[in-house]
Amino acid sequence: MPSAPANGITIEYETIGNPESPPVLLITGFSCQLTEWNPLLLQALAESGFYVICFDNRDVGLSTWFDNGQEDDTGAAGEQSAPSAYSMSDMAADTAGLLDFLGLESAHVVGYSMGGMIAQTLAIEHPERTRTLTSISSSTGNSAVGQPQPEALGVLLAPPANSRADAVQGSLAVWRVIGSPGFPLDEEALSAHAAADYDRAFHPSGSERQLNAIVTQPDRTDALAGVRVPTLVIHGESDVLVDPSGGLATAAAIPGARLKLVPGLGHDIHPDLFSELVSELSGNFLQG
Sign of torsion over alpha carbons 143, 277, 229, 95 = positive
pLDDT in tens, 224-234: 999 999 999 99
Residue 238 near residue 137 (C-beta atoms within 8 A): no
Q: For residues 95 and 74, what is the distance between their CA atoms, to the nearest angstrom?
A: 12
pLDDT in tens, 213-227: 999 999 999 999 999
Residue 146 near residue 140 (C-beta atoms within 8 A): yes
Rounded (10°) angle between helices 274-285 and 39-47 = 40
Residue 288: pLDDT band (50, 70, 90) is confident
Residues 6+ apart with CB under 8 A from 135: 111, 116, 119, 120, 231, 232, 233, 234, 247, 250
* More confident of the two residues 26 and 1: 26
- Predicted confidence (pLDDT) at residue 195 exceeds the cutoff of 50: yes
Mean pLDDT of the 134-156 span: 96
Q: What is the mean pLDDT of the chain?
A: 94
Residues 6+ apart with CB under 8 A from 165: none
Annotated domain spans of the chain = 3-149+204-285
- Predicted confidence (pLDDT) at residue 81 exceeds the cutoff of 50: no
H/E run at residue 99: helix 88-102
Burial 154-191 (b: 16+ CB within 10 A, else e): ebbeeeebeeeeebbebbbebbebbbbeebebeeeebb
Q: For residues 131 and 109, what is the distance between their CA atoms, to the nearest angstrom?
A: 7
Per-residue confidence (pLDDT) for residue 85, from 0 to 100: 60
Residue 1: pLDDT band (50, 70, 90) is confident
Name which of 10-24, 70-84, 94-108, 235-249 the model is least confident about.
Answer: 70-84
Phi/psi of residue 147, nearest 5 degrees: -80, 150
Residue 94 near residue 27 (C-beta atoms within 8 A): no
- Predicted confidence (pLDDT) at residue 101 exceeds the cutoff of 80: yes
Sign of torsion over alpha carbons 102, 257, 261, 50 = negative
Residue 68: pLDDT band (50, 70, 90) is low
- Predicted confidence (pLDDT) at residue 33 exceeds the cutoff of 50: yes
Residue 276: pLDDT band (50, 70, 90) is very high
Residue 278: pLDDT band (50, 70, 90) is very high
Fold classified for 3-149+204-285: Rossmann fold (3.40.50)
Kindly state the percentage of the chain with pLDDT values over 70: 94
- Predicted confidence (pLDDT) at residue 209 exceeds the cutoff of 60: yes
Residues 6+ apart with CB under 8 A from 67: 83, 205, 206
Burial 101-117 (b: 16+ CB within 10 A, else e): ebebebbbbbbbbbbbb
Q: For residues 39 and 26, what is the distance between their CA atoms, to the nearest angstrom?
A: 12
